[in-house]
Amino acid sequence: MSKTSIYGLTFEQLTSWLVEHGQKKFRAQQVWDWLYKKRITDFEEMTNLNKECLALLDNHFYIQSLKQAIKQESSDGTIKFLFELQDGNLIETVLMRFSYGLSVCVTTQVGCNIGCTFCASGLLTKNRDLSGGEIVEQIMKVQQHLDRVGKNERVSHIVVMGIGEPFDNYSNMMDFLRVVNDQNGLSIGARHITVSTSGLAHKIYDFADEDIQINLAVSLHAPNNELRTKIMKINKAFPLEKLMPAVDYYLEKTNRRITFEYILLRDVNDHKEEALQLVQLLKDKRHLSYVNLIPYNPVDEHNQYQRSTKESIVKFYETLLNNGIQCGVRVEQGSDIDAACGQLRSKQIKAKS
């Protein structure tokens, strides 16, 4: 029987599993305290569990499987981790420091099949989905790094914006969200967690119907179908006529704000014309919309794109703002390391091949 990651179980799943295996319900809280409060990595350290329970856990689960392959530290405090999974695949996880706290960007898939034309993550097609446990373990590895540094710092925010399309790995992503949000464990507030999608409209409906208050970001990047299809192939399957009704459903159902991500690509989508089209697209939902303008992180393989000039970024921002659209320009993190998501992984794979 092959073991699975204990991080992949929600509190309810662990409780039922323990009860089914003849253990008392309260053991679940003991196990979670060891995992998420004391953050141990070996079942033997769970000293208040009886031998039978320890053997049971040890026979069915493991705690950690990710190996740190590379750690790059930026002068601004950003740390990028490259982890090797049990099967040898590589993934990235990033720790970022903001005035409001420490945020971790997690990966949900090994590669990505959506293949956006500007993204390093999509350079290598998807090998497989990550399990819920493998996504949770990324947070635990970063938290354990912080524990070792010893400044009593805690991961306070999560962005599901690493390699992969989270809505293409929906149920594992939801298990992950339930584990990290659970008050019995890490208790990271739902409003401190953001999931970003390239726009899988049917899953936006599902996400709106979930009983959890996680923030949603939609990678828009263009205000019309022609341009969006050029930049993002996914727009063929989910054009704006499908995406925007899903967005409207989400807003109506949750009454929570959506962030629209918009990478500014020089002379591609950064003119006044596109800014005005974006205003039109969002004007009926501007009270619940926020546009995050993202300076493009150059990727060698996508050299058809350049970062917009500072001047055009400011003009685009002002056009949105003057027309009543709430917006901001993303503060860059880790620009002196392989900052674009998926870049460190693809470089490492190229170097090995």
Ligand X SMILES: C[S@@+](CC[C@H](N)C(=O)[O-])C[C@H]1O[C@@H](n2cnc3c(N)ncnc32)[C@H](O)[C@@H]1O
Spatial strand order in the sheet of 215-219:
67-73, 79-84, 90-98, 101-105, 155-160, 193-197, 215-219, 258-264, 289-295, 327-329
Q: Give the HSE-up count for residue 227: Cα atoms under 13 Å, Cβ half-sphere.
A: 19
Active site (annotated) includes residue 53: no
Which among 139, 89, 95 is positioned nearest to 110, based on CA atoms? 89
Measure CA 3 to chain center: 26
Which helix or strand (DSSP H or E) is residue 312 part of?
A: helix 310-322
Interaction between residue 343 and ligand SF4 (CB under 6 A): no
327 is in an annotated binding site: no
Residues pairing with 72 in the sheet: 80
105 is in an annotated binding site: no
122, interface contact from ligand SF4, ligand X, none, CB < 5-8 Å by kind? ligand SF4
Interaction between residue 112 and ligand SF4 (CB under 6 A): yes
Contact 295, 329 (CB under 8 A): yes
Q: What gap in Å lies between CA 318 and CA 309, rounded to an integer?
A: 14
The CB-nearest residue to ligand SF4 is 122
Active site (annotated) includes residue 210: no
Q: Let me know the angle formed at the C-alpha of 120 by 115 and 121, rounded to the nearest 5 degrees.
A: 65
Q: Name residues whose C-beta falls within 8 Å of residue 301's C-beta, 6 or more positions apart in sequence.
A: 120, 123, 346
219 is in an annotated binding site: yes
In the set 121, 138, 254, 269, which binds ligand SF4 (CB under 6 A)? 121
Which residues of the shown chain bind ligand X in the complex (CB under 6 A)? Answer: 118-119, 121, 161, 165, 196-198, 219, 261, 263, 294, 296-297, 299, 340-341
Residue nearer to ligand SF4 on the CB measure, 134 or 165: 165
Residue nearer to ligand X on the CB measure, 281 or 299: 299
Place of tokens 């693809």: 346
Which helix or strand (DSSP H or E) is residue 62 part of?
A: strand 61-62
- Residue 37: what residue type? K
The one catalytic residue among 20, 84, 92, 210: 92
Cβ at position 258, least distance to ligand SF4 in Å: 16
Cβ at position 342, least distance to ligand X in Å: 7
Q: Per-residue x/- mask for ligand SF4, residues 165 to 184, rule CB under 6 A?
A: x-------------------
In the set 53, 85, 116, 186, which binds ligand SF4 (CB under 6 A)? 116
Cβ at position 144, least distance to ligand SF4 in Å: 26
Contact 297, 80 (CB under 8 A): no
Quote the tokens at residue 164. Answer: 């992969």
Q: Per-residue x/- mask for ligand SF4, residues 68 to 107, rule CB under 6 A?
A: ----------------------------------------
164 is in an annotated binding site: yes
Cβ at position 184, least distance to ligand SF4 in Å: 31
Place of tokens 């790094």: 145
Q: What are phi and psi of 112, to 5 degrees?
A: -155, 135
Cβ at position 121, least distance to ligand SF4 in Å: 4
Residue nearer to ligand SF4 on the CB measure, 112 or 193: 112
Binding residues for S-adenosyl-L-methionine: 164-165, 196, 219-221, 297
- List of residues contacting ligand SF4 (CB under 6 A): 112, 114-116, 119, 121-122, 163-165, 198, 219
| Active centre residues (catalytic) | 92, 341
